[in-house]
Amino acid sequence: MNITMKFGGTSVGSAQAIENVVQIVQEAVSAGHQVAVVVSAMSGVTDMLLNSVQAAVKGDKWGFIQLNNEIRDKHTNALHELMPAGRNRDDILGQLDAMLRKHQDLCEAISILGEATPRIMDAIVSYGERMSSRMVAAVMADRGLHAQALDASQYIITNDDHQNAEPLWLETAERIHSHLRPIVESGVVPVLTGFIGAARSGAVTTLGRGGSDFSASIFAAYLNSDELIIWTDVDGVMTTDPRLDRRAKVLPYVSYAEVGELAFYGAKVLHPKTVQPIIQKKIPLRVRNTFNPRHPGTLIGAETQDTGHFIRAVTCVRKVSMLTVSGKGMLGVPGIAGRTFLATARAGASILMISQSSSEQSFCFTVVDQKAQAVKEMVEQELAAEIARQDVDSVDVMGEVAIVTVVGAGMRHRPGVAGKVFSIMGNNNVNVLSIAQGSSECSISFVVDERDIPVAVERLHDLALEAAQAEPSRA
Ligand code: ADP
Ligand code: ASP
Ligand code: MG
Cβ partners under 8 Å of residue 102, min gap 6: 127
Pocket residues for ligand 1 (CB within 6 Å)?
8-11, 40, 210, 232-234, 237-238, 240-243, 262, 267-269, 313
Q: Determine the distance separating the centroid of ligand 3 and the alpha carbon of 317, expressed in angstroms.
A: 15
Nearest residue CA, atom 12 of ligand 1? Answer: 269
Nearest residue CA, atom 8 of ligand 2? Answer: 210
Q: Determine the distance separating the centroid of ligand 3 and the alpha carbon of 238, expressed in angstroms.
A: 14
> How many of the other CB atoms lie within 10 Å of CB of 220?
30
**Ligand with the closest atom to the CA of 211:** 2
Cβ partners under 8 Å of residue 94, min gap 6: none
Residue 257 CA to residue 124 CA, distance in Å, equals: 34
**Ligand with the closest atom to the CA of 289:** 1
**DSSP letter at 249?**
-
103, 52 in Cβ contact below 8 A? yes
C-beta 272 within 6 A of ligand 2: no
Q: How is the chain split into domains, by residue range?
A: 2-233, 313-470
Per-residue pLDDT of the chain (475 residues; tens, 9 = 90+): 999 999 999 999 999 999 999 999 999 999 999 999 999 999 999 999 999 999 999 999 999 999 999 999 999 999 999 999 999 999 999 999 999 999 999 999 999 999 999 999 999 999 999 999 999 999 999 999 999 999 999 999 999 999 999 999 999 999 999 999 999 999 999 999 999 999 999 999 999 999 999 999 999 999 999 999 999 999 999 999 999 999 999 999 999 999 999 999 999 999 999 999 999 999 999 999 999 999 999 999 998 876 666 789 999 999 999 999 999 888 777 789 999 999 999 999 999 999 987 666 889 999 999 999 999 999 999 999 999 999 999 899 999 999 999 998 888 777 788 888 999 999 999 999 999 887 677 899 999 999 999 999 999 999 999 888 887 655 4
CATH topology (fold) of 2-233: Carbamate kinase (3.40.1160)
Residue 111 CA to residue 118 CA, distance in Å, equals: 15
Domain 313-470: top CATH class: alpha beta
Residue 91 CA to residue 129 CA, distance in Å, equals: 18
> How many of the other CB atoms lie within 10 Å of CB of 400?
13
C-beta 212 within 6 A of ligand 2: yes
SS3 labels along 69-84: HHHHHHHHHHHHHHCC
Residue 401 phi, psi (nearest 5): -120, 170
Q: Nearest-CA neighbor of 468 among 189, 172, 239?
A: 239
Residue 245 CA to residue 474 CA, distance in Å, equals: 23
Cβ partners under 8 Å of residue 160, min gap 6: 119, 199, 200, 201, 203, 205
55, 210 in Cβ contact below 8 A? no
